[in-house]
Amino acid sequence: MGKTPFESLVNLVCQIKEWLKCCTYSIAYRAYLTTRTIILLLYEHEEGLPVIIMARTLMEIAALSHYVVINIEKHLSDLESKISCLRPGNKDSMLETIKTLVKFLGKLMRIVRATRFNWRLWIEGDLNRLLKEWDKVPEELRQVNILTMIDKMPNNIRRKFKFWYNVLCDFCHPNLGSSVMVIDKAKVLESHPHGKISYVLAANPKSEEILYVTIWTITTPISLSIELLYANFEKMKRYIERFENWCNIGLNMLS
């Protein structure tokens, strides 16, 4: 930590700055790769189902970005209230600030390292235990469910975001949505007394109907996701700049 409480405080501030960068850049890079993949699949390969699957991935990344921001804001608010109470020579206020920084750092580390898989057993090569305990994850590393993240969104977008996320899920899971996306042609058999429909399946359907379904399905989810990502990246950028400033001030005072 540090030789003195103040040195520990500065070290924690600088660590938080680096974990903020890690968290932000990780989310930004995943969003970039996902968006690029959507464009390539749609305009170069004209593949509908993979595009919809990637659109759902983009929604999950956007939900994560918002979850990160609201947690940063919560801890930052607590931190600023503690900093405002700091007084020279007051060890109690210094220790309270350090405790708040430790909680903040722990939350960021959990967000980056969150998982549902017991990677420790995988790395240790203990296959017998892994097959039985693959889902036994320490509570401090257990991932937050994506629907929980969506439920923490602002009221003005939560309902719409959740609706479209569930629409995309029907295409990603082995449900009706994904079944429809492998139908290249469909026609009603007029000769049949009950009007049965004949389907022609294809590994890469090229029908206009599939393209229409794809565009209709992804337009709003992608728009919502990009809008949310942009707003959250702007906030994250400001938070990083704030901690960089605090870190530099602290290091200058220690030098």
101 with 12: CB under 8 angstroms? yes
Give the tens place of pLDDT for each residue, 184-204.
666 666 666 666 766 666 666
At 94, the amino acid letter reads M
17 with 247: CB under 8 angstroms? yes
- What pLDDT is recorded for position 57? 97
Beta bridge partners of 199: 186
Average pLDDT over the chain, rounded to whole? 86
Q: How far apart are CA 255 and CA 252, in angstroms?
A: 5
- What pLDDT is recorded for position 171? 86
The dihedral sign for the CA sequence 180, 181, 183, 186:
positive
Give the tens place of pLDDT for each residue, 43-60.
877 778 889 999 999 999
- What pLDDT is recorded for position 146? 93
Residue 227 phi/psi, 5-degree rounding, is -60, -45
Average pLDDT (25-48) is: 90
DSSP assignments along the chain, one per residue: --SSHHHHHHHHHHHHHHHHHHHHHHHHHHHHHHHHHHHHIIIII--HHHHHHHHHHHHHHHHHHHHHHHHHHHHHHHHHHHHTT--TT-HHHHHHHHHHHHHHHHHHHHHHH-BSS-HHHHHHT-HHHHHHHTT---GGGBPPPHHHHHHTS-HHHHHHHHHHHHHHHHHHTTSHHHHHTTEEEEEE-TTSTT--EEEEE-SS---HHHHHHHHHHHHHHHHHHHHHHHHHHHHHHHHHHHHHHHHHHHHHHH-
**Which of 48-57, 135-144, 202-211 holds the top average pLDDT?**
48-57
